[in-house]
Structure 1
Amino acid sequence: MTESKTAPSARMTSLQRRVLIVAILSSFVAFLDGAVINVALPAISEDLGGGLPLQQWVVDAYLVTLGSFILLAGSLSDVFGRKRVLYVGLIGFGITSLLCAFAPSGVFLVVARGLQGIAGALLVPSSLALIISTFSGAAQAKAIGRWTALTGIAMIAGPLLGGIFVDTLSWRWIFVINVLPIAVTLAVMLTLKQEDKGTGGHIDVYGAVFGSIGLAGTVYALIEQGVYGFASPRVLIPLVLGLLCLAAFFFTETRVKQPMLPLGLFKVHNFWVGNLATALVYGALAFGPLMVTLYLQQVIGFTAIQAGLVFIPSTLCMLLLSGLFGGLAGKYGPRLFMAVGPIIASLGFLWLLTMGAEASFWLHLLPAVLLFGVGLSITVAPLTSAILGAIHPAQAGIGSAVNNAVSRIAGLLTVAMAGLIVGQHLDRVGFDRALICTAALMIAGGLVSAVGIRNREPAAAPIQTTMD
């Protein structure tokens, strides 16, 4: 795609504005679907059965394939072109969303969610790569901030939309609604006439196979251990197979010509430190709000709509503040924001420890979600800018894919470990443990950023990702 970059002070061109719209909408549907599912889990379990294991699988089937294939998707984006990959991802996401909506059983829904994750994996890396290749400097940081604000809204506002559909229509509508933003995105993409052939090359098939089997086996064992125990062959065999495949995956990535996970990228300081912070922060982000939403519905007695309304203040924080902090990070450097933001967000989860048998919105929930929303707004755009700004723009697709894979896999593992942390039935004691674990992950992410992130680190030269 022909690049059209601006100086930091220049206003966006018409092309840049349309690219930003496409990037936001295409990522929005993937993030929305990952968040909207939370408040629907009790209704899905009531309709299809399965209890907590089904609820975990409905979340993790999507995250397993999303995390497994997002690295491959980054390579596909660079090799075949960002627009082509986006087209395939959007159409595939629409089809699989309808499969989820009409699922007749829990098993069918889990399989459909896995397929949906594959399509979703094609969306985020390509959309961020479009931004990186079209904007530069402070304008790039500001564009990422806007992308973060509006796509981040999907992650927080999803529970509200899900609650409305669950209480007024059916949980199945949370998947049908995906078709509308997909249709709008495809229409805008038709106006982007610029050439986007990609760089060509080979696809890392072995890496995709080993990575997906490794994650699936490991996650299966973590979820099912609560029912069968780690000593059961039904858990032990998948766990061993998963770990062996993960080991084979990393070995393969050092041997193939064009690896889906170029380990050389981790030689770039801000890239590896930022991804470590990403794993901690996004692991908490996937686990904490899920536990809060389930606890409010299943223990306190909130309706799906009431549980979704709880996160509206966080949505407003993301909308109002993410662009601001993205721009400030571009001007002053990301370290301070990445250090302070997660710690502020952790205070929100710790505040919920004051909640008793009944939850007061004004006393317990509002202060907590405001702290969480402000902390997240301070963190996310600077985090993305620090990581992607540290690598060469030519590798924006794979760099974005690696960062998104780290965040999805971190969330995948924390959700899979829910049974270990809270037990097989969510109660007050388990909820407190979940809050403390979430806060600890957030604080650790802030400390890693405070110690490790460097301000003003120049973008690295292209990293050698092929073996001679």
Structure 2
Amino acid sequence: MSSRSHRAWVLALTSIASLMVALDTLIVTVALSTIRSDLGATLEELEWTVTAYSLSLAVLLMTGSALGDRYGRKRLFAIGLLVFTAASAACALAPGIGWLIAARTAQGAGAALLMPLSLAILSAAYPPERRGRAMGIFMGVTGLSVVGGPLLGGAITEGASWEWIFWLNVPLGLLVLPFVLTRIEETRGGDTGLDLPGLVLGTAAAFGLVWGLVRGNVAGWGSAEVVTALVLGAALLGAFVAWERRAPEPMLPLRFFRSRAFSAGNATAFLLTASLFGTLFLIAQFMEIGLGRTPFEAGLRLVPWTGCLMVVAPIAGALVDRLGERPFLVGGLLLQAGGFGWLALIAEPGMAYAPLVAPLVVSGVGIAMAIPATQNSVVGAVPPHMIGKGAGTNTMLRQLGGVFGIAVLVAVFAGWGGYASSQAFTDGFVAALAGAALLALLGAAAGLLIPRRRTTAGAEDGATDRPREVVRS
């Protein structure tokens, strides 16, 4: 297989896998009201249908990335695809909310192999000077899920039943698997060992912190359960850092964080995703509860927002290669904050749809500008044979950001509103949007730390572990 053909197959297959994973993050959003009604779910259980997926995905990401580096990225990618497909069928067969939450947890475990290994396989297949364009196309295809997720989820929920939003993954996963096994070349990371203490400490730390964030809304932020979870998570995180500093073959080389591009790129990704996921959890419900729309109508009215990722991300990815990441990170997050703030100012029960379009587009363009830039900043700051670990770190922090954003913004929503009436829901939604705008502004501030320009010198030199970074004033 020629190099060009191989790259095309890698881009197509990793993009489809990302599409599947992202679709199941987003397709549920417009079905939440129906699931709440059909399964008698509480607000906490409804939150868990989203966060259980993100929780297992976040805490297992570094494990998935490390296993791929050790035993082969293509092999573990294929296993992840099988697990994700089987778990999707289990979601569709769920007789109650507890089963659905458990199956969503298993879905997240499969996604924890697919997401970091998609980025690692794709990044390894492209040279640095062409990687931004590939990342833009990758995110553009992923953007199909952002556009199609709410729209397709609404159509299926309204026309058939919410279970069919999960059945969609089964034929797609079975169709893609043979091509993964035959069209992707096997690659591994630079380390030959497996950092088991790092895996255990890192996974336990992430689980403790995420559990505390998710349970804080219901159990109370000062409760023994939440405080214990957060304290233990922080202590385990400290132990993880201490171990990684002296481990012979660390799961996460801490020297990565000496690079401003790597550190600031990850901080920006965390805050961007926190703002985005927290808003995603509520905005489709606002369309249904606040504006009285059906699930399909809600999904259709989100297209001006979600469609921006598919259209803008490939263009932004190509321009990042020429202009550097910082303008797209800072500018994109400022637009995201401005759009969410604008929505907060005008949202009210029963309002016309037309005034919502402009702020939806503004925030959508900003998100689409920033996402490929964050990924390019991170994977471009590590040497080629460490891309798997760099991509795994980035994906883990993005997912933790999503869980953090949902937990925080749902807490704000519950403090200012609720489901009692359309007015009560809108009051909580407006307060949560203000919080989302603040998170995006913090992300823009972090983006200012990204180097203005980075060279790709030494990109093909696999002999060095040092992050590549040159600042040009």
Pick one of 84, 87, 101 that aligns with 1:96: 87
Q: Deviations over 1:366-400 (max 9, x none)?
A: 11221122112221222211221121111111111
1:3 Cα deviation after fit: 10
Task: Name the residue aligned to 1:449.
Answer: 447
How far off its partner does 1:239 sit?
3.8
Please report how far the alpha carbon of residue 141 of structure 1 lies from its aligned counterpart in structure 2 after TM superposition.
Answer: 1.2
Aligned ranges 1:71-82 → 2 under 5 Å: 71-82=62-73
Q: Quick check: 2:209–2:230 contact (8 Å CA) kept in 1?
A: yes
Does the alignment pair 1:264 with 2:262? no
Q: Which of these residues, 408, 421, 425, is aligned with residue 417 of structure 1?
A: 408
The answer to whether 1:361 aligns with 2:353 is yes
Aligned mates of 2:52, 2:336 — CA distance in 1:
27
Q: Find the aligned partners of 2:256 and 2:184 in 1 and give their Cα distance.
A: 31
Contact kept in structure 2, 1:395 and 1:462, CA below 8 Å? no
Whole-angstrom distance in 1 between the partners of 2:37 and 2:238: 38
**Structure 1 stretches lacking a partner, 5+ long:** 5-12
Distance 2:314 2:212 in 1: 40
> Where in structure 2 are the equivalents of 1:311-330 lying within 5 Å?
311-330=302-321
- Coordinate RMSD, CA, aligned: 2.3
Aligned to 2:392: 401
Q: Which residue of 1 aligns with 2:155?
A: 164
Deviation (angstroms), 1:42: 1.7
**SS of the residue aligned with 1:302?**
coil
Secondary structure of the 1:122 match is helix
Give matches, 1:364-379, under 5 Å.
Answer: 364=356, 366-379=357-370
| CA displacement at 1:199 relative to structure 2 | 4.8
Q: Secondary structure at the match of 1:191?
A: helix
Q: Which residue of 1 aligns with 2:322?
A: 331
1:207–1:260 CA contact under 8 A, matched in 2 = yes
Distance 1:281 1:231 in 2: 27
- C-alpha distance in 2, partners of 1:38/1:304? 9
Q: Aligned runs of 1:41-80 on 2, under 5 Å?
A: 41-80=32-71
CA contact (8 A) 1:223 1:419 kept: no
Distance 1:176 1:396, change over 3 A: same
Residues 170, 312 of structure 1: CA spacing in aligned structure 2 closer, same or farther, 3 A cutoff?
same
Counting only pairs closer than 5 Å after superposition, residues 431-446 of structure 1 correspond to structure 2 as: 431-446=429-444
Which SS does the other structure have where 1:273 is aligned?
helix
CA contact (8 A) 1:63 1:412 kept: yes
String of CA shifts for 1:174-232, please: whole Å, max 9, x gaps: 11111233223213224326454655623333333333333333333333344343444
Judged with a 3 Å threshold, the aligned counterparts in structure 2 of structure 1 residues 230 and 336 are, in CA distance, closer, same or farther, namely: closer
Q: Indicate the SS of the match to 2:47.
A: helix
Q: Is the 8 A contact 1:72 1:204 kept in 2?
A: no
Contact 2:147 2:307 in 1 (8 A): no
Distance 1:229 1:193, change over 3 A: closer
**CA displacement 1:254-274 (0-9 Å, x = unmatched):** 343333332221112201111
CA contact (8 A) 1:97 1:176 kept: yes
Structure 2 counterparts to residues 208-247 of structure 1, below 5 A:
208-247=199-238
What amino acid does structure 2 have at the position aligned with 1:272? S
For residues 121 and 3 of structure 1, what CA distance do their matches in structure 2 show? 30
Contact 2:142 2:310 in 1 (8 A): no
What per-residue deviation string (whole Å, max 9, x for no partner) do you get for residues 55-113 of structure 1? 11111111111111111111122222221111000001001111111122222221221
Tell me the CA shift for residue 234 of structure 1.
4.2
1:402-422 Cα distance to aligned partner (Å, 9 max, x none) = 111110001111212234211
Q: Which residue of 2 aligns with 1:7?
A: none
Question: 1:464, 1:69 → 2: CA distance?
Answer: 26
Aligned 1:243-254 pairs, distance under 5 A = 243-254=234-245
Q: Alpha-carbon deviation of 1:156? A: 4.0
* SS of match in other structure, 1:170: coil
Tell me by how many angstroms 1:149 deviates.
1.0
Question: TM-score, normalization: structure 1?
Answer: 0.90
Q: Which residue does the alignment assign to 2:465?
A: 463
Residue 182 of structure 2 aligns to a residue in which SS? coil
1:128 matches 2:126: no
SS of 1:452's partner is: coil
Q: TM-score, normalised by structure 2?
A: 0.89
Q: Give a deviation string over 1:18-68, Cα, whole Å, max 9, x none.
A: 111011011111111111111122222222223110111111111111111
Question: Structure 1 residues 336, 3: closer, same or farther in 2, change over 3 A?
Answer: farther
Matched to 1:440, the amino acid is L
Preserved CA contact (<8 Å) 1:65 1:115: yes
Which residue is 2:470 aligned to? none
Query: Separation in 2 of the partners of 1:136 and 1:82?
Result: 18
Once the two structures are TM-superposed, the CA of residue 115 in structure 1 deviates from its matched residue by: 1.5
1:384 to 372, 375, 378: 375
> Which consecutive unaligned segments of at least 5 residues does structure 2 have?
420-424, 468-473
Q: More deviation in 381-390 or 450-459?
A: 450-459
Q: Bigger CA drift: 27-36 or 236-245?
A: 236-245
User: What is the deviation of 1:314?
Assistant: 3.0
> Paired residue for 2:29?
38
The 1:410–1:304 alpha-carbon spacing in structure 2 relative to 1, beyond 3 Å, is same
Aligned length: 455
Partner AA of 1:449 in structure 2: G
Q: Identity rate of aligned residues, in percent?
A: 31
Partner of 2:77: 86
Q: CA deviation at 1:435?
A: 0.7
SS at 2:194 equivalent: coil
3-state SS of the aligned residue for 1:189? helix
